[in-house]
Amino acid sequence: MAQGVWAAMSRVLHPSVPNTSTGFEYSQYKPFFEAVQAGDWETAKDFHNQHPEAVRARIPYSGKTALHIAVDAGHVDIVKELVSLMEEEDLELQEILGDRTALAIAASKGITEMAECMVPKNKKLLSIPDSNNSLPVVKAYLNCRWHMARYLYSVTPIEDLMPDKGPNGATIITESFSSKEFGIDIQPPPRINHICVTVPNEENSQANNRRSLIRSVGGLVEGHVSQSKNQKEGLVSKIVEILGMLVTISFVVDLNSNQLSKAVYVLNIWVLNVNSGIKRIYEMKIVHVRSLAFLKFMCEEIKDMDMQQTRDSSVDPAIFQAVGMGNVEFIAHICKANPELLRSVNPKKRGIFHFAIECRQEKIYDLIYGISTKDWMTNLVDSNSNNMLHMAGLLSPSAELNRIPGAALQMQRELQWYKEVETIVPPKFREYRNIDEHLTPRELFTKNHSGLLKEGEKWMKETATSYTVVGALIITIMFAAVITIPGGNRDTGFPAFIDEKLFMLFIISDAISLFSSTTATLTFLGILTSRFAEEDFLKSLPIKMIIGLTTLFLAIATMMIAFSAALLIIVRGHSWIVIPTILLSSVPVTLFAWMQFPLLIRITVSTYGKGIFNRNVERWL
């Protein structure tokens, strides 16, 4: 009797299918498989009428059925026909390689119509994982099939996505943040916060690097418009404020009722279609609002964790990923929730602020000024006895350096970092030697920046040489112009137009241009004869460049004024000649200013501006 019971259970759990393991039996169904592969349903249907069991036949070695083949080939109509002919349990058949059901294949391909015909017939398909323990909805998310993902998420039992059932839920939300695709409903905190540190599925590990939700949120760059450095006042800020309200309202409605108000939805769609730039702002705001909401849930989960738990979970990697990306809000919220996380170290035993200096993330570094007790942080050394000042002695990551034009300005920024960190570390650490290279911070700085120093010297010399040539030409022209004055001289030796106001304008402009170009040329010569030491790039060389460029701008502008005045004196009364000529004369000044003025502004701001560091951070911990 027991044997009969087991046989009955076997029939229920494993539907009866023809044994297709031999070449002879496979050849029997081969025409059916080939017709399905080719999309020839009439031939496949005729074969099925003669062999009804063919819909359950499987290909040797792969274990695929005709439904697997049709889904893989993308034949939607044939898939619908086959599903109508198959029993409910037949849809659960899995291929041998990958253990994928036909629904899992459809999820990977993103053909929602196929899923919509299979799921109503057998909802168990939604809960059948493949060999990587990935549910069909996860397959859709991993392959960025967003329409399919939204559909499968809406019908997948929420219990299958809970942490106690595996990492599928964490994978979905992680992929949503990584891809900035928020087409899923946000669940209440009790159902979310337990998956914050769950590591996603290993499938597609190169794409997600086994990132947990907390790492994905931590990796989001803090680039939302509401806190952008380049945000303009007035109309743009008002648009951002309105968009922020819309996104927040949408999110709150979604959070509490799982559906958007029609009015808000229509308004959002209208805003998105107004302008592509506004659409971009809107998308950035969505990322901000959603990430802050999840961040709140994460803080609730980690606030009671001890140091060992944070190291065993993915919290520590998330923190250092956030530091590398400059995500200030993430670091501030996480460390407020659990202040012990400030003591987190990476595999090299470098703390949060060590790593911030290494990555040149000034906004993260500024947080140290808002901490009441920071002595232990400034005394921290890594596994090679490198202190904070050693980190400033390292060369900036190329991504950060490339944001600054010109090797000289890059060298200046590196020196500014070193000087800033030097003010916060204990004096003894200035001569502290590391273990691996036995170098002090300054020696390490010199070693790592020798190449940049040479590039900066080359850039300064080439730039100064070019400007010196321009200045010398202006000196020559202006000196010649004041000798050969327009209109010539009278018999008395005085200029013919000495009583004219335009003549006085000519003389004054010529003199200013001559003096300015001479000053510029001598300043650039001073740059060329500089010793180009490291310290020179901090103040001396930039100040000389500012003076040289400013006086050169003035020389060119007044040269054009002198030319226009002379032209008006000589051809007065012929406005049809004078006006176009004066307009053309303004082209060189405009062109030179357009090309070189940004450089002058950049150097001036970098040298005399408020700086990249903010020591007036409010006390936050």
Residue percentage of the chain with pLDDT more than 70:
76
Name the residue with higher pLDDT: 570 or 113.
113
Contact 385, 433 (CB under 8 A): yes
In a domain, 10, yes or no: no
Same domain for 406 and 488, yes or no, is no
CA diameter of the chain: 140
Residue 69 in tokens? 């083949």
Contact 240, 352 (CB under 8 A): no
**pLDDT value at residue 258:** 46
Q: Which residues contact 31 (CB under 8 A, 6 or more apart)?
A: 43, 47
Residue 260 has pLDDT above 60, yes or no: no
Same domain for 232 and 355, yes or no, is no
Tell whether pTM > 0.75: no
The CA-atom distances, in angstroms, between 482 and each of 455, 485, 514, 612 are: 41, 5, 10, 46
Same domain for 384 and 474, yes or no, is no
Q: What are phi and psi of 489, to 5 degrees?
A: -115, 155
Same domain for 239 and 316, yes or no, is yes
In a domain, 453, yes or no: no
Q: Write out pLDDT tens, residues 303-340.
A: 888 877 777 777 888 899 889 989 898 899 999 999 99
DSSP annotation string for 414-452: HHHHHHHHHTTS-GGGGG---SSS---HHHHHHHHTHHH
- Residues β-bridged to residue 489: 495
Nearest to 63 by CA among 36, 97, 25: 97
Q: What is the mean pLDDT of residues 389-402?
A: 95
State the CATH number of the domain containing residue 513: 1.20.140
Q: What is the mean pLDDT of residues 592-616?
A: 91
Same domain for 369 and 440, yes or no, is yes
**pLDDT value at residue 182:** 60
Same domain for 237 and 314, yes or no, is yes
Q: What is the mean pLDDT of residues 509-514?
A: 95
Residue 323 in tokens? 């530091």
Of 182-191, 209-218, 351-360, the range with the lowest mean pLDDT is: 182-191
- Binning pLDDT at 50, 70 and 90, where does residue 496 land? low
Which of 282, 301, 333 represents a domain boundary (last residue)?
333
Number of domains composing the chain: 4
Q: Which residues contact 464 (CB under 8 A, 6 or more apart)?
A: 524, 525, 527, 528, 545, 548
- Residues β-bridged to residue 351: 345
In a domain, 456, yes or no: no
Residue 19 has pLDDT above 70, yes or no: no
Residue 590 in tokens? 């405009």
**pLDDT value at residue 13:** 38
Strand locations in 457-514 (E): none
Which of 310, 333, 356 represents a domain boundary (last residue)?
333
Residue 111 in tokens? 């053909």
Boundaries of domain holding 152:
16-156
Contact 315, 347 (CB under 8 A): no
In a domain, 506, yes or no: yes
Q: Write out pLDDT tens, residues 70-128.
A: 999 999 999 999 999 999 999 999 998 889 999 999 999 999 999 999 999 999 999 99
Distance CA 103, CA 108 (A): 9
Nearest to 143 by CA among 162, 130, 125: 130
Same domain for 197 and 323, yes or no, is yes
Contact 167, 193 (CB under 8 A): no
Of 313-317, 341-345, 611-615, the range with the lowest mean pLDDT is: 313-317
In a domain, 317, yes or no: yes
Torsion over CA: 471, 474, 478, 479 (sign):
positive
Which of 264, 298, 333 represents a domain boundary (last residue)?
333
Q: Which residues contact 449 (CB under 8 A, 6 or more apart)?
A: 395, 411, 414, 534
Same domain for 416 and 386, yes or no, is yes
**pLDDT value at residue 519:** 97
Torsion over CA: 190, 191, 194, 195 (sign):
negative
Residue 217 in tokens? 């949120």
**pLDDT value at residue 208:** 43
Average pLDDT in the chain: 81
In a domain, 457, yes or no: no
In a domain, 242, yes or no: yes
- Work out the burial of residue 571: count CB atoms within 10 Å of its CB; fewer than 13 is exposed, 13-18 middle, 19 or more buried: middle
In a domain, 250, yes or no: yes
Same domain for 112 and 200, yes or no, is no
Q: What are phi and psi of 351, to 5 degrees?
A: -80, 180
Q: What is the mean pLDDT of residues 377-406?
A: 94
Same domain for 326 and 354, yes or no, is no
Same domain for 103 and 218, yes or no, is no
Same domain for 428 and 477, yes or no, is no
Contact 547, 582 (CB under 8 A): no
Contact 408, 373 (CB under 8 A): no
Nearest to 184 by CA among 155, 219, 224: 155
**pLDDT value at residue 100:** 94
Of 135-144, 165-174, 273-282, 393-402, the range with the lowest mean pLDDT is: 273-282
